[in-house]
Copies of this chain bind each other. A is one copy, B any other.
Amino acid sequence: MLLEVAATPTAGNVDRERDLPDLRFEQFLAGASGARAGLEEIERGGPIGQGFETAVAGMADAAGTNTQFGSLLLLAPLVRAVAKRPEESSEQLGPDAASAVVAETTVEDAAAFYRAFEHVEVRVDEPPADLEPLDVRRGADAIPAVRDREATLASILEAASGHDGIAREWTEGFERTFDAADRLASREGPLVDRATRVHLDLLAEEPDTLVATEHGEATAAEISDRAASIDPSDGDAVRSLSSDLIERGINPGTTADILAGGLFVTLVREGGKP
Chain A interface, number of residues (Cβ within 8 angstroms): 23
From known contacts A16-B17, A26-B192, A190-B24, infer whether A2 and B272 are also in contact, taking CB-CB under 8 Å. Answer: no
Chain B hits for A6, CB < 8 A: 25-26, 29
Interface centre among A2, A16, A36, A274 (most CB of B within 10 A): A274
Q: Is B29 a contact partner of A274 (Cβ separation < 8 A)?
A: yes
Complex: A17 Cα to B191 Cα, angstroms: 18
Instruction: List A1-46 residues whose CB lies under 8 Å from chain B.
Output: 2-3, 6, 16-17, 24-27, 29-30, 33, 36
Chain B hits for A192, CB < 8 A: 24-26
CB of A112 closer than 8 Å to a CB of B: no
From known contacts A16-B16, A33-B2, infer whether A26 and B274 are also in contact, taking CB-CB under 8 Å. Answer: yes
CB of A249 closer than 8 Å to a CB of B: no
Indicate how many identical chains form the complex.
Answer: 2
Q: Is A29 a contact partner of B3 (Cβ separation < 8 A)?
A: yes
CB distance from A212 to the nearest CB of B (A): 30
Chain B hits for A26, CB < 8 A: 2-3, 6, 190-192, 274
CB of A123 closer than 8 Å to a CB of B: no
Q: Is A274 a contact partner of B190 (Cβ separation < 8 A)?
A: no
Complex: A36 Cα to B27 Cα, angstroms: 18
Mark each residue of chain A from 153 to 186: 1 if its CB lies under 8 Å from any CB of chain B, else 0.
Answer: 0000000000000000000000000000000000
CB of A110 closer than 8 Å to a CB of B: no
Q: Is A272 a contact partner of B62 (Cβ separation < 8 A)?
A: yes
Complex: A191 Cα to B64 Cα, angstroms: 13
Top 10 nearest A-B pairs by Cβ distance? A2-B29, A26-B274, A16-B16, A6-B26, A64-B273, A30-B274, A26-B192, A3-B26, A6-B29, A6-B25
Q: Can you give 22 A-B contacts (C-beta < 8 A)? A: A2-B2, A2-B29, A2-B33, A3-B29, A6-B25, A6-B26, A16-B16, A16-B25, A24-B190, A24-B192, A25-B192, A26-B191, A26-B274, A27-B274, A29-B29, A29-B274, A30-B274, A33-B33, A61-B272, A62-B273, A63-B273, A64-B274
